[in-house]
Structure 1
Amino acid sequence: MISIESLNQINGLETLQLRAGKQGERNAIRWPYIAESTAIEEWTKGGELIFVTGLNWNWSTADFICLIQKAQQQCASGIVLLTQSPYLESIPNEVLTFANEQGFPLIEQPYSLPMVNVTERLSNAIIMDDLNNKSNRWFLQHLADTPHLSEIDLLKAKELGIAPCQSLSVAFINLNNIGNEGLIKVQYLLRQFMANEGVEFPVCEFHQGWLAVMPMTQSCSEKIEKIWNSLYQILSKQGFDCSIGISDAHDIKGMYNTVSQAKQSADFARANHKKQVVHYNTLGISQLFTHINSSHILESFCHQYLGDMFNKNDAQTITLKATLQCYFDNLCSIRKTATALNIHRNTLSKRLDAIEQISGSNLDNAQQRLSIQIAQLAERFIR
């Protein structure tokens, strides 16, 4: 990965100097962009290294600070300022201080180093790095799509630095209503997130979502879940409507099943509007629903025990379903349910009677009560 800290290791770019914002030195560089003014919103999608030559604009200290703020909002990787030029002799101290406060990388480029050389060498390095990582992304997709790995697959894993017996945490990221420009930004955010966590596994597109893998040990399983939750917060903060499902693989041989479980968890989270990361192990009985290939089976079961409440979302049905859910959550206690719903016990009893009439189920019968509870879970899943 080409990052801020590796920028001056590219042949010919040794004179580039990081002057401020060292906290962001691991920022990945997706592509160079030359800014002629502070109006960069329309042209930046995330991961750009922004170059400022000083041409065609009389840059002030306030302009530089404004550019840093906008670059952060656009998830740019850093800013390069050309100095020792007729347009800018040196970087103002106020700008350096602000960049340090924001933790945003500010790089100095001597005017004597031709801009065309810098952008050409940087672009070539990015392209070569992407080509080198393509095989890693392909192999991760292969692991996720292959039920039974061969000995050659295990050897390939070792070549790529993946220990065959390494335990892995797998995340499947579902993104809703996202366009091409959003995809570019998401790809950068995911890649940057993994880099910040010190994970070398690539992130790849997979079955209309994104697949990310992180090594783990038993002692850090709770920490791993917090890490995936922080990814959810980052994506949400950037305005992306997403759901993340995760699962664990004891080794790479279990990747196929684990990826399937992570995807099912993400689908479940989206169907149930859960604004959090959902681990496959927390699905409980809903795990069974994920293995039923025919939705007609679930629909038939739901209709049998929910009756005309199934697949309806009018105000009355929503109230009855919410009441039923609260009734189950409170272990079928009339008193606790009425208190939780802030209604009179007589009102609750009338609602439960209505539920029995519509569903045809008897809530006093343990077997039928369990069936209607499962049907309500299944309805949310298939929806």
Structure 2
Amino acid sequence: MSLTLEEILHLPGLQAMSVRAGARNLQRRVRWPYVAENEGIAEWVMGGELVFVTGINHPRGQANLLSLIEDGEAVGIAGLVILTGGSFIQTIAPPVIARAEQLGLPLIEQPYALKMVVVTHLIGTALVQMSQLRRSRNDILGQLLSGDYPSLAIACQRARHLELMLDEPRRVVALRLVEVEQLFERHGLAEGERLWQAVRQALEDHLQTWCRARPGAVLVQMPGDLQVLLLADAGDLPSSLAALHRQLCMVAGELRLHMGLSRLAADCAGYRQALSEARQALDVAQHLHPADGFCDFSELGVLRLLQGIKDRSLIDDFVAQTLGRLINPGRKQPYVLVDTLDALLKENGNGLKAAQRLGLHRNTINQRIQRIEQLSGQSLDDPLFRMNASVAMLVWRMNGPRQGVTP
């Protein structure tokens, strides 16, 4: 597990280091410190480094520092630390600070009196400790999620010792990147591997940042291609996950990402069942491509059966044949009849209650019922039609409530 720049600056012994630019990006994660000895850094870093420049082995004038800032931001370093006050770099010139601020690159000033060996030792030690803590947390969380533990009581004690507060009810989210094979087919093994690892790391970084901003959220790295979130239940959870999915799709690039959400697990003894539910919901999401990017196990119902239909076109044809004739793309409100049918189904075919739900006069709802039956060739009194329409509406809403279908 990496540390953020903000966490590093708060390490005991590093209080003398000060942020000169890019403070808005102090949540960038640092994977390791790197002392730059060459004129440039572009070919010597891979991204995520906290780069230190001293001026000892190479002159660091304003032009060189500006070049380092440009290169550092281009290759994705976490931040740039400039040692000042000795006989090499006296001060950081204002244009250097201004350019770093413009790019959003965190620029940190370190007094020359603060020895480099002390700084790198403190950062390196903190990174090792964080990595060990991460492995321990992943180990115990993996045991709880898989059910592979010798004693639940001991597992819970270990979790508390590792400062994992798992007593409150949680929901499990399972995430998976797909179309990885196509990535390798398009780019070849070497470039495909590089892109794959870069996306996985970017995904992990984004999830870590998201979890830090959401109370009670925990990221678990499971073996294989599955990532898992433990989340406290909240009223904004569906909208938050939909927003998260949109963000992660941008991170995923050429790959696609799907998510599945479990029902609420009362405590960690229910994590195994919750993970199973999240994976089932994930499989449905991967098959049916919901508009908001995830499926909720508690809302799946018949969708779990539809998941068994391997040919997605059969499902699309069923929805089109059931609802397509009720959609009029040429009208200002093309979905009036579909919305009316939805209200009728929710009210078990009761026209009066459907009219109240939609705020319509009873004559208007009767006219729409006649139109629905005329276009569909079916009667709303037919329980088979209502069942088919309910399933079609469920799939249609999941794929985006205003996604058009054609008969």
TM-score range, shorter chain: 0.5 to 0.7
Once the two structures are superposed, the pairs formed by residues 26-175 of structure 1 within 5 Å of their partners are: 26-35=27-36, 36=38, 40=42, 43-45=45-47, 47-54=48-55, 55-56=57-58, 59-60=62-63, 62-63=66-67, 65-67=69-71, 69-70=73-74, 74=76, 76-85=77-86, 88-100=89-101, 104-146=105-147, 150-175=152-177
**Structure 2 unaligned regions, length at least 5:** 181-194, 336-375, 396-407
Residues 142 and 272 (structure 1), Cα distance of their counterparts in 2 relative to 1, 3 Å cut = same
Residues 283 and 119 (structure 1), Cα distance of their counterparts in 2 relative to 1, 3 Å cut = same
Once the two structures are superposed, the pairs formed by residues 1-383 of structure 1 within 5 Å of their partners are: 2-10=3-11, 12-35=13-36, 36=38, 40=42, 43-45=45-47, 47-54=48-55, 55-56=57-58, 59-60=62-63, 62-63=66-67, 65-67=69-71, 69-70=73-74, 74=76, 76-85=77-86, 88-100=89-101, 104-146=105-147, 150-176=152-178, 177=180, 179-197=196-214, 199=216, 201-216=218-233, 220-222=234-236, 224-240=237-253, 241-247=256-262, 248-274=264-290, 276-281=292-297, 283-286=299-302, 288-289=304-305, 298=308, 311=311, 322-329=316-323, 333=325, 367=384
SS of the residue corresponding to residue 3 of structure 2 reads coil
**Residues matched between the structures, number:** 331
CA distance in 2, matches of 1:23, 1:276: 29
CA distance in 1, matches of 2:23, 2:240: 23
CA distance in 1, matches of 2:327, 2:229: 46
Relative contact order, higher structure (CA 8 A, sep 6+): 1
CA distance in 2, matches of 1:116, 1:163: 36
Query: 1:297-342 deviations in whole A, cap 9, x for unaligned?
Result: x45xxxxxxxxxx7487xxx8xxx6454233345xx567599869x
SS of the residue corresponding to residue 203 of structure 1 reads strand
TM-score, reference length from structure 2: 0.64
| CA displacement at 1:166 relative to structure 2 | 0.5
CA distance in 2, matches of 1:334, 1:121: 67
Amino acid across the alignment from 2:285 = A
Please tell me whether the aligned partners of residues 172 and 262 of structure 1 are also in contact (alpha carbons under 8 angstroms).
Answer: yes
| CA displacement at 1:174 relative to structure 2 | 0.7
Please tell me whether the aligned partners of residues 147 and 257 of structure 1 are also in contact (alpha carbons under 8 angstroms).
Answer: no
Please tell me whether the aligned partners of residues 4 and 26 of structure 1 are also in contact (alpha carbons under 8 angstroms).
Answer: yes
| CA displacement at 1:145 relative to structure 2 | 0.5
CA distance in 2, matches of 1:169, 1:51: 42
CA distance in 1, matches of 2:225, 2:29: 24
Residues 66 and 261 (structure 1), Cα distance of their counterparts in 2 relative to 1, 3 Å cut = same
Identity score, percent: 21
SS of the residue corresponding to residue 19 of structure 1 reads strand
Amino acid across the alignment from 2:112 = Y
Amino acid across the alignment from 1:215 = A
CA distance in 2, matches of 1:164, 1:187: 21
Residues 374 and 276 (structure 1), Cα distance of their counterparts in 2 relative to 1, 3 Å cut = closer
**Structure 1 unaligned regions, length at least 5:** 300-309, 342-351, 354-363, 379-383
| CA displacement at 1:109 relative to structure 2 | 1.6
| CA displacement at 1:373 relative to structure 2 | 9.1
Query: 1:125-148 deviations in whole A, cap 9, x for unaligned?
Result: 201221123221111111111189
CA distance in 2, matches of 1:196, 1:335: 42
Please tell me whether the aligned partners of residues 203 and 252 of structure 2 are also in contact (alpha carbons under 8 angstroms).
Answer: no
SS of the residue corresponding to residue 300 of structure 2 reads coil
| CA displacement at 1:168 relative to structure 2 | 1.8
CA distance in 1, matches of 2:311, 2:303: 21
